């Protein structure tokens, strides 16, 4: 990798993508954070978070509008008529895709990221895909990354540098990601995980449950404020 190599980091404003972007910076890439709005209920809080994260990392920040995904419906993240799972036990061995699935979101998002990467001659796309989400979401699995990278070989111009999707957290669970984040100096306190857009994390949705459990199992202090709980660990 040359000293001027750029990386596009798909950034939601959450823990996983922030740790992945921090790893990219540690590896010497010049960062371009790419944040997508697709009609998600947490849009405003995600944008606030990703702005702070970009400033912390010294990264360029680019926004893309994928709101057409909301018009397709079928996701509790974008359609208020579909109940968002709350207060449900998070299953580590889930075999069915939950109703928080947004149809082909990561396929669409990586395609946009690849287009952006080609336009700025970036050599890498960093994503926060991980083993915990992979148990429920097929587009977080190694097979998806491998297949997309094979597709990229035939999807960019011959004069464009090779582009590779990198998923440094692909084998990690949330506790491992929290520990890795502390190790690389990621701004975990700036991140937003909640599926909702309240003043503080709801503490009840699947993403909040993953976050709380990750910090607890990692043995790392969680400074996140959760609504309706007496302390930051949700007790």
Known binding positions for ATP: 11-21
Known binding positions for Zn(2+): 194, 202, 205, 208
Each residue's pLDDT expressed in tens, for the chain with a length of 235 residues:
554 599 999 999 999 999 999 999 999 999 999 999 988 889 999 999 999 999 999 999 999 998 888 878 778 788 777 777 787 655 545 556 778 777 788 899 999 999 999 999 999 999 999 998 888 888 999 999 999 999 998 887 766 668 999 999 999 999 999 999 999 999 999 999 999 999 999 999 989 999 999 999 999 999 999 996 443 333 3
List 86's β-bridge partners, or say none: 205
Q: How far apart are CA 194 and CA 7, in angstroms?
A: 26
The verdict on pTM exceeding 0.95 is: no
Half-sphere exposure of 118 toward its Cβ, with a 13 Å CA cutoff?
Answer: 14
Q: Where are the domains of the chain?
A: 6-218
Known binding positions: 11-21, 194, 202, 205, 208
The CATH H-level (homologous superfamily) assignment of domain 6-218 is: HUPs (3.40.50.620)
List 126's β-bridge partners, or say none: 9, 166
Size (the chain), residues: 235
């Amino acid at each position: 990798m040359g000293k001027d190599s750029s990386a596009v980091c798909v950034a939601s404003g959450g823990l996983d993508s922030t740790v992945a972007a921090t790893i990219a910076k540690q590896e010497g890439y010049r960062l371009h954070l790419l944040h997508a709005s697709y009609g998600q209920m947490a849009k405003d809080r995600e944008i606030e978070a990703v702005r702070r994260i970009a400033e912390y990392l010294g990264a360029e920040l680019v926004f893309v509008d994928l709101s057409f995904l909301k018009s397709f419906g079928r996701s509790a993240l974008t359609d208020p008529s579909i109940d968002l799972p709350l207060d449900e036990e998070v299953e580590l061995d889930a075999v069915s895709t939950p109703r928080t699935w947004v149809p082909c979101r990561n396929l669409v998002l990586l395609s946009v990221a690849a287009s952006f990467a080609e336009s700025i001659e970036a050599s890498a796309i960093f994503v926060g895909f991980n083993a915990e989400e992979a148990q429920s979401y097929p587009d977080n699995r190694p097979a998806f990354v491998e297949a997309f990278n094979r597709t990229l070989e035939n999807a960019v111009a011959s004069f464009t540098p090779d582009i590779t999707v990198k998923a440094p957290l692909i084998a990690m669970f949330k506790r491992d990601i929290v520990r890795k984040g502390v190790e690389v100096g990621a701004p975990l306190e700036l991140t937003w995980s909640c599926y909702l857009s309240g003043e503080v994390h709801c503490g009840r949705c699947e993403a909040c449950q993953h976050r709380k459990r990750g910090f607890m199992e990692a043995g790392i202090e969680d400074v996140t404020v959760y609504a309706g709980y007496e302390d930051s660990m949700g007790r």
